[in-house]
Amino acid sequence: MARRWTNDLTRDDVTPKSLWLNRRQLIAGLSAVGAAGIGGPVAAKSDLEPNTWEEITTYNNFYEFGTGKGDPAKNAPAMDTTGWQVTVDGLVDNPGTYDLADLIGDMETEERIYRFRCVEAWSMVIPWNGFELADLLAKVGVQDGANYVAFETVVRPDVMPGVRRRVLDFPYVEGLRLDEAMHPLTLMATGIYGEPLPNQNGAPMRLVVPWKYGFKSIKSIVRISLVAEQPPTSWNKANASEYGFYSNVNPNVDHPRWSQATERRIGGGLFAQRQDTLMFNGYDEVAGLYEGMDLTKFF
Amino acid sequence: MAVVDRINAAVRRVPAWPIYPVCALWLAWVFYRGATGGLGVEPIEALEHEYGAMALKVLVVGLAISPLRRHAGLNLVKFRRALGVSAFVLVLAHLAVWAVLDVQSLDRIWADIVKRPYVTVGMAAFLLLLPLALTSNDRAVRWLGPKWRRLHKLTYPAAVLAGVHFLWLAKGFQLEPLIWLAVISALLVLRFRPGRGARPRAAPTQG
């Protein structure tokens, strides 16, 4: 693990719990972030003020629980995540269906404060707790010939109204190229603000890929497969002309139905100003992964 | 006395004018909730959707008045102007939130209108409603004569465009916009099918 991503923010940089539980809509003047991005990732990151617990946990896309932004917070608590199991299969040394504690119990979690940019042109800053996906992949042992990692979300029609209405072709599936999955920025999150992930945020374990649109960061994972070929991904299956496999945050490539040049940071209230969207959501260190690729074609 | 006649008699005693202040108060109330956190952590999108959805609902209610009279004998025509004007005011509020609070700049507004099909369609619906709102007064009715009725048939394409606008911005397979579009289509079919209030055009031939 020669090039681990170093976290330049600590617990001390995060709003104390007593404050973030009450603090609302105080970060309207966050426009400095856009300008600071040019100065490099370090400057950009230290300017980030995380969104509040309320913002992060009441404004969600989790279509299994409904298409409204408030639906996941309303419906997801009915999901019981005790006894959670994750199947690891494909080109791995240690395939099997693991109890979550057995799979990740020995992972060292740390805090990562990341920008989160939704494909719908809104964004947040979220203090995740988690571990690098690379560490988990090292533990299960990636075999030669594996080029991609495929992920699958749990399907529980009894507590998931969106699944019963077939909003998408469930189970929700996502995927990363192996080098993307191994990148030190790529996180498996199990908490926010030091608390366990709420169900609407993808409990008990979700992916976080901060330089890609939010829908790539698949929630409530029950399967991780190492595969040779590029795996299918849910939104790409639903509409290939709108959602590509890569889905890197890119202000220069618009969604066919709306612009991606700017975004609205959640929490600014009714008069929040739009801010410029940054290439790779400000995480320029991933640019090398896509060298020589036409990102208008591989969007 | 049939139920319909009794309703018609009751309706004659209900004035139409309160629709205007109710509409204005509702707009202000939802705006207030958006400004004070009552619409959740993303009030701009919420406000835009609240105004847009209500505009569509009021438009559909207005659209239902003719078929109700033709096919059910229910006469609510006295409310039609107030409903139509209110629907337009709601559309205007929806448009203002989109332009001023959401998109925020003139070049982005223009780019959205020409580049984004659902914005183009929504804007077309607005433009169709504009002359109707401007001619929703007695002077215009007298001045235009029979042309007024023809002009106001633009409500139908406007409603269809509004339904398409709603459908086009949905992600994934969503039922609600499809239901609205189905209701609008059904009202269109009812409107242009002769009902019990219509004169038969020709005697059916025996065959």
What value does the mean pLDDT take over residues A140-163?
A: 97
Per-residue pLDDT reduced to its tens digit, B5-47: 999 999 999 999 999 999 999 999 999 999 999 999 999 999 9
What is the distance in angstroms between the Cα of B108 and the nearest Cα belonging to chain A? 9
- Kindly tell me the number of DSSP H helices and DSSP E strands found in chain A: 10, 12
What value does the mean pLDDT take over residues A186-206?
A: 98
B41 touches chain A (CB under 8 A): yes
Rounded to 5 degrees, what angle do the CA atoms A270, A272, A274 make?
135
Q: Closest partner residue to B118 among A69, A70, A257, by Cβ?
A: A257
Report the length, in residues, of chain B. 207
A155 has a pLDDT exceeding 80: yes
The torsion defined by the Cα of A253, A258, A261 and A266, in degrees rounded to 10, comes to -130
Give the domain extent around B146. 13-191
Distance of alpha carbon A55 from alpha carbon A125, whole angstroms: 10
In the structure encoding, which two tokens stand for residue A158, read together?
């009894």
Q: Give the DSSP per-residue string, B67-114.
A: HHHHHH----GGGHHHHHHHHHHHHHHHHHIIIIIII-SHHHHHHHHH
Check residue A197 and give its pLDDT: 98
Mean per-residue pLDDT of chain B: 91
Chain B residues with CB-CB distance to A167 below 8 A: 172-174
Using 50, 70 and 90 to split pLDDT, how confident is the model at A95? Answer: very high
Using 50, 70 and 90 to split pLDDT, how confident is the model at A8? Answer: low
Specify the number of domains making up chain B. 1
In the structure encoding, which two tokens stand for residue A241, read together?
């002309």
Using 50, 70 and 90 to split pLDDT, how confident is the model at A23? Answer: very low
Please answer yes or no on whether B104 and A54 come within 8 Å at the CB atom: no
How large a percentage of chain A has pLDDT more than 70?
84
What value does the mean pLDDT take over residues B144-163?
A: 94
Bigger pLDDT: A113 vs A12: A113
Whether residue B197 lies inside any domain: the answer is no
Whether residue B113 lies inside any domain: the answer is yes
Strands A85-90 and A221-227 come out as parallel
Using DSSP's 3-state secondary structure scheme, residue A93 falls into coil
Question: What is the C-alpha R_g of chain B?
Answer: 19
* Residue A8 phi, psi (nearest 5): -95, 5
Whether residue B64 lies inside any domain: the answer is yes
B114 touches chain A (CB under 8 A): no
Which alpha helices (DSSP H) does A122-270 contain, by range? 133-140, 161-164, 178-182, 234-238
Q: Closest partner residue to B35 among A54, A267, A270, by Cβ?
A: A270
What is the dihedral sign for C-alpha A27, A28, A32, A37?
positive
Q: Closest partner residue to A167 among B37, B104, B174, by Cβ?
A: B174
Per-residue pLDDT reduced to its tens digit, B104-116: 999 999 999 998 9
Check residue B191 and give its pLDDT: 82
Whether residue B199 lies inside any domain: the answer is no
Check residue B135 and give its pLDDT: 96
Whether residue B202 lies inside any domain: the answer is no
Whether residue B205 lies inside any domain: the answer is no
Whether residue B203 lies inside any domain: the answer is no
Who's near A252: CB < 8 A, 6+ residues apart? A260, A261, A279, A295, A296
Using DSSP's 3-state secondary structure scheme, residue A276 falls into strand
B122 touches chain A (CB under 8 A): no
Strands A195-196 and A187-192 come out as antiparallel
Please answer yes or no on whether B43 and A262 come within 8 Å at the CB atom: no
A262 touches chain B (CB under 8 A): yes
Per-residue pLDDT reduced to its tens digit, B43-75: 999 999 999 999 999 999 999 999 999 999 999
Report the length, in residues, of chain A. 299
Cis peptide upstream of residue A204 (ω within 30 degrees of 0): yes
Whether residue B166 lies inside any domain: the answer is yes
Q: Which domains does chain A have, with CATH numbers?
A: 11-290 (3.90.420.10)
Per-residue pLDDT reduced to its tens digit, B116-140: 999 999 999 999 999 999 999 999 9
Per-residue pLDDT reduced to its tens digit, A32-88: 343 333 333 433 444 689 999 999 999 999 999 999 999 999 999 999 999 999 999
